[in-house]
Structure 1
Amino acid sequence: MVFGLFDLSSGTATSCRQHGAAGPSDSPTVNERLSALRQVETPEGLQKKRDLADSVNQPSVPPELREILGVLESEPPKPKPGVRLREMRRTPGPAPPKSWLGYRSEWWSTLVMREGRARRKGNGLKSDAERQRPKELLRFSLLLDGKLDTDAGQPSGLLHLTLRRLAEQWDLFDEADFPALVDIPLRLRLRLLSYMGYYGPLIDTTDLQALTSGDETLTHLDLAGLAGHGALTTKRLVKLFEASATMTSIAPDAVAESWDAEETLESILTPSLTAPRFNTLTHLSLSNPPPTASWRDLLALSKSVSRLTHLSLAYWPRPTLTPNLTTATVSSRHSPDVRAGGSHYYSTLDNDYAEAAALLRQLSHNLLCITWLDLEGCADWVPALGTLNAGAHSDIPHDDASGWSPANSPVITIFAHTWKNPTYIRCAQGWLPSLTGLRDTDRSLAPDFGALLARQAHHFPAPLSSDLYEVDKRRGQMWLDIEQKLIATGHRINNIRRARSYKPVTMDFGWCQRAV
């Protein structure tokens, strides 16, 4: 057996190269094979190189010349498939849908066009700037809930921001958009109406109908800062309240056999029933009107809302039918001068409330269901609720030194005959003096009144300044004079109601509530 091949001449073994096996020096290594593969140009690689060269060699044009020449901007290279680009400061979560991103570009031109033609409804900017707005947002609602004098602060949240923005941008709404407001619940539209009085512009009867239309029952209406201003005058409110807004048709049971059949008596008598839209109101706020608000129109308005139980007339002017004749007189050679109007210029100083008491008596006859009254800022005529029927200088005998007669005082007519159900009257003056001014007044106070002021001292603000001490003192004396008249009025009202076994009225003075 032979295990190897030997060269007979040299006596050595023959090499493996003689039998076709390659040596390690002739065979390519792994790195050599990989470098050779990288140099092979495939069709896909050649196409990528051409695209990259085209994008790099594309000539660039400055932005100014590009706009002039109309050259399109070069598009950036497209990302590789399957690779997600990372955006700087991107909101976490999935990307927003395209419908959200395209909303601004779709509607922005329409909103800009409407903003250019805003305020074409006849409401002047001057009257809007001079409008007396409520001091607090949603004042009527807070007052009804008893939260007006608490430190609740301004409302917040998404609903508040939305309603405020809608009120501020109400000029962008066109009459063609008003039918879409019916889809909004009535409670939100009524809340928006309150925001309109605090943040929004002036409105007219068309806007009011759009915000109050629908099939839901309308019981609350807050027109604070809106009624009487601009095109929404009290006279137009009277026409709107008297108009029929909803129609309910009743079809007869019998169906005619032909079109030529004559109408029956039943179909003629029952074609439809008319129900006024505002006839169901029970809570109404007409506060913060202009100084030219008409009491004649208010009396006409009260006839259309006879079901009212809560009424706000805050900051209304003195009740009179002749506001432009307060300083006019009628002169004659054979008689002394006579006042042309029902109230003269110094009626408040003379405690002459004859005309105011007569108009309040007419108002009470139209609103028999009243249980709640807001008369804030009306301190100059609130004493008319408890004055004599013939004025302060009447010859009718008085029962006591307070100045009212049980037989002829209008307080009996109003709070014992027509208004039997009132339980709350807010008669705050609308402002409070500093505590320093109250303590240093020269006016002597009743013991119970002084003790009450001491207990409620936290309601009064700090003094204006150390240099305005005399101003604080005079303001405190003025406030005390008016406040004592209001307290005396509350005493007269409740004395009559207690004599008739009626529940006394709670008088809210803004800093305390009590049945005086």
Structure 2
Amino acid sequence: MPKKRHNNKYSKPPSVAPPSLALSSSSRATEHHERSVNQLLAEMRRSSVRQNGAQNNVAAATPTVPPSIRQILQIPETPAPRPRRAPRRDANGRRAPPGPPPPRSWVSLALSRHAPKELQSDAAGHIQHWRLPDAYVPESGSLIDLLLRRLARDWEQQREWNQFYLYTLPSHLRTGLLTYVAEIYEPGLSIKDIRLILTGPSEEKLAEYDVDKPDLNILNGDIFYLDLAGSVGKSLTLRELSDLLFPPKVVVEQPDLQDSWETPEPIPGPVRMLPNLTRLSLAIDPEHSSNVSWKQLLLLANKMPTLTHLNLSGWPEPSLTPNAKLARIISPVTGRSVQYGGTGPYSHNLDNDWVEAILILKRLSKALYGLEYLDLTGCGDWFPALMKTSDGDFTVDYIDWVGDWGKITTLRLYSGYALTDDSTSAQISRFAEWIESATAVGKHIRTQRSGKGRWITVDKDTLSESAEAALTTRQLGELAWGDAV
């Protein structure tokens, strides 16, 4: 029988290019495959030398010959290799890690006018304010972020044009707008701006345009945090904030009750602007530290026992009479000159006296007994007051981290500054003192609780390897100088 023939419909594609393509590229492909990798690299180097001329010092991969034979054969001299770049050195003369230097924004926070004098001379950085936990922060570069930034930049006009619309925004957008205005708007956030965003225009303007007055319990019932970082002490005072959040009670004359079974209607009291506020940021810039008052803070704290998160970044050392540190009076009893205020110019440095600071912080802890988060960034100069004890009137005063502030689980004790490669040894030494003081505070709190309270996390700065080496070098130099003397 004859064999059946099967025409295969599908077959493996040939590994050889078709003749139409082979005719056009056969010579080029053959030449390309015949050359080795070294020959290709050598040709690339020659072409780069021809293109750049004398500016390119990359040597071609040509064999070298003795100078005498080169002169006889008239071979051009091989170009000298490019000189090596000098290794980068840090401020202490040590070799920096390989690779390009890090961006300035990674090393230091920014060049600031808010830094202390000893840190400001070399622009070591500015104090950084941390956002409140769980606060609404739009993603950087998003549409909402761009819109809020634009509103904050044009705030002088926006608060006039959109005064009837700002308070109708969702609560998270209004609180975010307050934060952006406090950070971006140069004059700062005023008490009128806060009232406009949270409650709307005044009653007279609402009545003029026949707009109903909003119910604050419904309008602001879902606002739990308020970030005023940078505006307190600059364009806003704690007295104004206290009067806004807790308006004074209005005395209303009650009518005479008649003999009847009908009970009088209840007289409504003042409406709180933020009835559910639990997180508050009162961070300040160091240049405005003289405009804040611990006395006003204590008065405000007594009205907010439900506060759970508080930010006091940049606040000065606790004192009720900060302007009387250098003042002295004549005692009418002894006739001697005595210190007027509770803290003198040498109380902390020489006498190690923290009595006034401890008493103020103790009163604050009793008022804010529900705190779970406390941010004291930039307050490194009075960190010792958090763990010191004082004897006065036959009693020992100290901050109770087990009872009054036993609920605090997060304590931020950052310095607020960042060291750079240009930082001096004195700046590194002060930075290390802040870290050492924060570490001691954390150990003191854990020792005081010792299983009686919640576990606490103390966030603090860390020294880099280069900073630790510079600090060790300075300490060894001081020891050698002392031995020589």
Q: Same fold (TM over 0.5)?
A: yes
What is the identity, as a one-letter code, of the residue corresponding to 2:454? K
* Counterpart residue number, 1:321: 320
What's 2:130 paired with? 139
Structure 2: how far apart are the matches of 1:328 and 1:496? 37
| Corresponding letter in the other structure for 1:427 | L
AA of the residue aligned to 1:240: L
Tell me, yes or no, if structure 1 residue 300 matches structure 2 residue 311: no
Aligned to 1:70: none
Report the AA paired with residue 243 of structure 2: K
Letter in 1 for 2:447: N
Equivalent-residue separation in structure 1 for 2:313 and 2:343 (angstroms)? 21
TM-score for both structures, normalised by structure 2: 0.58
For the 8 Å contact 1:137–1:195, the answer to whether it is kept is no
CA displacement at 1:267 relative to structure 2: 5.8
Distance 1:174 1:474, change over 3 A: closer
Structure 1 consecutive aligned stretches of length 4 or more whose deviation exceeds 3 Å = 129-132, 134-139, 145-148, 173-177, 262-267, 271-275, 331-336
CA distance in 2, matches of 1:483, 1:138: 18
CA contact (8 A) 2:307 2:370 kept: yes
Specify which of 223, 232, 240 is matched with residue 228 of structure 2: 223
**Aligned twin of 2:247:** 243
Contact between 1:348 and 1:380, CA under 8 Å: does it hold in 2?
no
Please give the TM-score of this superposition, normalised by the length of structure 1: 0.54
Rg comparison, structure with higher value: 1
In the alignment, which residue of structure 2 is the partner of 1:355? 356
Instruction: Report how far residue 195 of structure 1 moved.
Output: 0.5
| Residue type at the aligned position of 1:233 | T
Query: 1:352 deviation in Å?
Result: 1.9
TM-fit CA distance, 1:281: 1.0
User: Do the aligned residues in 1 keep the contact of 2:326 with 2:344 (CA within 8 Å)?
Assistant: yes
Residues 279 and 307, structure 1, Cα contact 8 Å, conserved in 2: no
- Is the aligned partner of 1:419 residue 2:405? yes
Q: Which residue of 2 aligns with 1:476?
A: 428
Q: Secondary structure at the match of 1:311?
A: strand
- In structure 2, the gaps of 5 or more residues are 1-111, 116-124, 200-215, 250-257, 464-485
Which structure has more RCO (C-alpha within 8 Å, separation ≥ 6)?
2
Matched, 1:179 2:164: yes
Question: Does structure 2 conserve the Cα–Cα contact (< 8 Å) formed by 1:306 and 1:369?
Answer: yes
CA deviations over 1:284-303 (Å, ceiling 9, x no partner): 00001522210011111112
Q: Please say if 1:489 is aligned against 2:480.
A: no
- Matched to 2:172, the amino acid is R
Residues 126 and 416, structure 2, Cα contact 8 Å, conserved in 1: no
Distance 1:135 1:173, change over 3 A: farther
Residue in 2 that maps onto 1:377 = 378
The reply to whether residue 157 of structure 1 matches residue 142 of structure 2 is: yes
CA contact (8 A) 1:315 1:376 kept: yes
Tell me, in whole angstroms, the C-alpha distance in 2 between the residues paired with 1:508 and 1:147.
22
Question: Quick one: distance in 2 between partners of 1:169 and 1:264?
Answer: 60
Q: Who is 2:389 aligned against?
A: 388
Are 2:287 and 1:286 equivalent residues in the alignment? no
1:74-121 alpha-carbon deviations (Å, 9 max, x no partner):
xxxxxxxxxxxxxxxxxxxxxxxxxxxxxxxxxxxxxxxxxxxxxxxx
The alignment partner of 2:380 has SS state of: coil
Deviation at 1:320, TM superposition (A): 0.5
Aligned AA (2:180): Y
Aligned-residue offset at 1:380? 1.0
Q: Deviations over 1:437-470 (max 9, x none)?
A: xxxxxxxxxxxxxxxxxxxxxxxx4x21xxxxxx
In structure 1, the partner of 2:396 is 408
Q: After alignment, is 288-297 or 207-216 more displaced?
A: 207-216
Relative distance call for 1:181 and 1:135 in structure 2 (3 A) is: farther
Does the C-alpha gap of structure 1 residues 165 and 137 become closer, same or farther in structure 2, counting only changes over 3 Å?
A: farther
d(CA) in 2 for partners of 1:177, 1:361: 44
* Matches of 2:161 and 2:261, distance apart in 1: 41
Q: What is the letter of the counterpart of residue 231 of structure 2?
A: L
Question: 1:145 deviation in Å?
Answer: 5.4
The equivalent residue for 1:343 is 343
Which residue in the other structure is 1:256 paired with? none
Letter in 1 for 2:340: A
Across the two proteins, how many residue pairs are aligned to each other?
Answer: 310
Checking the alignment, whether the CA contact within 8 Å between 1:373 and 1:426 is kept in structure 2 is yes
Separation in 2 of the partners of 1:510 and 1:208? 34
Matching residue of 1:431: 417
Does the CA contact (< 8 Å) of 1:244 and 1:275 recur in 2? no
Question: Are the structure 2 counterparts of residues 174 and 478 from structure 1 closer, same or farther at C-alpha, using a change threshold of 3 Å?
Answer: closer
Q: Take 2:311 and 2:383, find their aligned partners in 1: how far apart are those partners?
A: 13
Tell me by how many angstroms 1:175 deviates: 5.3
Closer, same or farther: CA 365–137 of 1 in aligned 2, 3 Å: closer
Structure 1 unaligned spans of 5+: 1-128, 246-261, 397-406, 434-460, 465-470
Match of 2:197 among 202, 211, 215: 211
Task: Report the Cα offset of residue 335 of structure 1.
Answer: 4.5
Other-structure match for 1:510:
461
Deviation at 1:357, TM superposition (A): 0.7
Summarize deviations over 1:109-150 as a string: whole Å, max 9, x none: xxxxxxxxxxxxxxxxxxxx9999x96998314xx25999xx
Return the match for 1:233 from 208, 212, 237.
237
- Decide whether aligned partners of structure 1 residues 476 and 199 sit closer, same or farther in structure 2, where only a CA change above 3 A counts: same
Aligned-partner residue type, residue 327 of structure 1: L
Shift of 1:174: 4.7
Distance 2:278 2:355 in 1: 29
Separation in structure 2 between the aligned mates of residue 381 and residue 332 of structure 1, nearest angstrom: 29
Contact 2:114 2:127 in 1 (8 A): no
Counterparts of 2:135 and 2:149, CA distance in 1: 23
Q: Once the two structures are aligned, what percentage of the paired residues are identical?
A: 28
Q: Which amino acid aligns with 1:190?
A: T
